[in-house]
């Protein structure tokens, strides 16, 4: 029984960890895009 | 939105697969309850093979068309393939200990599966060391095509050589096979894994596209 629980835990922990990692990366990248967009907007305002 | 729907479908698929494995499928006579590891173990192996097949096809497409969209698919699929291959190796080890009494043996199937895992981890690492996109993509495509050669040999290993790994239950020829209820449980599990792969690939591709968008905006900021 313990082996069965261990095997299925490995599966679900692995999938959950990977999905969580991807979601966090996506959030960080979205935040970075917002920062860069505002930087571009600011520099456009300065230029004009 | 479409990927979220696939995500919900894969979650429902997983719940159905768990029901099929733990409720619907009968307990195997000699191995007992530990045999139920088999359903996720085999599905993870086959989904890993499928993910690497996607790498193989996308790599050929990239080399023919020189379109980085194919390279993106190949890289994302390789990462998910490594995830499934890791799960397959780990669940195999957890099955081997109570059944064989050992964690690992240098059997043809096990060795080829470990080699496959190492090859695609190397594929991912190779991508991290080359900055120029077209050069990196071309090198990775060639490496991905060559690494895929392991998959058909690995698939056939338990058919060509009789070693410690159990004989095949799918396309194993005469005398092989499963109880019909076990077969149904395996098919349900494989369908759930296919949905999961589709969801993970969609998710990973979205991250990759956003990463490229960030690189584009960074170039724009630096050029100002």
**What residues contact residue A31 under an 8 Å CB cut-off, 6+ apart?**
none
Provide the CATH topology of domain B2-223.
1.20.120
Cβ contact B206:A24 at 8 Å: no
Cβ contact B205:B71 at 8 Å: no
Tokens describing residue B37: 């590891």
Place of tokens 């895009």: A33
| Residue extents of the structural domains in chain B | 2-223
Looking at CA atoms only, how far is residue B81 from chain A in angstroms? Answer: 12
State the ipTM, two decimals: 0.87
Q: List the beta strands (DSSP E) in B89-152.
A: none
A18 touches chain B (CB under 8 A): yes
3-state secondary structure of B28: strand
pLDDT at B165: 81
The per-residue pLDDT of chain B, averaged, comes to 91
Contact B95 A11 (CB under 8 A): no
Which pLDDT band holds residue A19 (cuts at 50, 70, 90)?
Answer: very high
Whether B162 shows a pLDDT value over 90: the answer reads: no
Report pLDDT digits (tens) over B84-94: 999 999 999 99
pLDDT at B172: 67
Which pLDDT band holds residue B1 (cuts at 50, 70, 90)?
Answer: low
Looking at CA atoms only, how far is residue A20 from chain B in angstroms? Answer: 11
A14-30: average pLDDT: 95
Tokens describing residue A6: 């261990």
Kindly report the pTM of this predicted structure. Answer: 0.92
Nearest by Cα to B160 from B95, B112, B122: B112
Q: How far from the centroid of its chain's Cα atoms is residue B80's Cα?
A: 6
């Amino acid at each position: 029984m313990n082996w069965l629980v261990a095997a299925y835990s490995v599966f679900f922990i692995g999938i959950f960890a990977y999905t969580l990692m991807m979601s966090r990366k996506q959030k960080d990248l979205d935040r970075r895009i917002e920062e860069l967009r505002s930087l571009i907007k600011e520099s456009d305002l300065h230029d004009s | 939105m479409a990927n979220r729907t696939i995500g919900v479908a894969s979650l429902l698929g997983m719940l159905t697969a768990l029901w099929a494995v733990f409720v619907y499928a009968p307990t195997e006579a000699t191995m007992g309850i530990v045999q139920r590891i088999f359903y996720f173990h085999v599905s993870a192996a086959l989904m890993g093979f499928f993910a690497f097949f996607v790498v193989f096809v996308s790599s050929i497409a990239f080399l023919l068309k020189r379109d980085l969209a194919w390279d993106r698919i190949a890289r994302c699929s390789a990462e998910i393939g490594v995830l499934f291959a890791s799960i397959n190796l780990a669940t195999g080890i957890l099955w081997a200990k109570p059944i064989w009494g050992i964690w690992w043996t240098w059997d043809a199937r096990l060795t080829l599966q470990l080699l496959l895992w190492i090859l695609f981890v190397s594929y991912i690492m190779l991508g991290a060391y080359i900055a120029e996109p077209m050069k990196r993509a071309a090198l990775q495509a060639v490496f991905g095509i060559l690494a895929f050669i392991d998959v058909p040999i690995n698939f056939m290993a338990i058919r060509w050589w009789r070693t410690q790994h159990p004989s095949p239950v799918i396309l194993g020829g005469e005398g092989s096979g499963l109880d019909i209820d076990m077969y149904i449980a395996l098919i349900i599990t494989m369908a759930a894994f296919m949905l999961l792969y589709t969801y993970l690939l969609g998710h990973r591709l979205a991250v990759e596209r956003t990463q490229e968008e960030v690189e584009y905006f960074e170039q724009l900021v630096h050029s100002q």
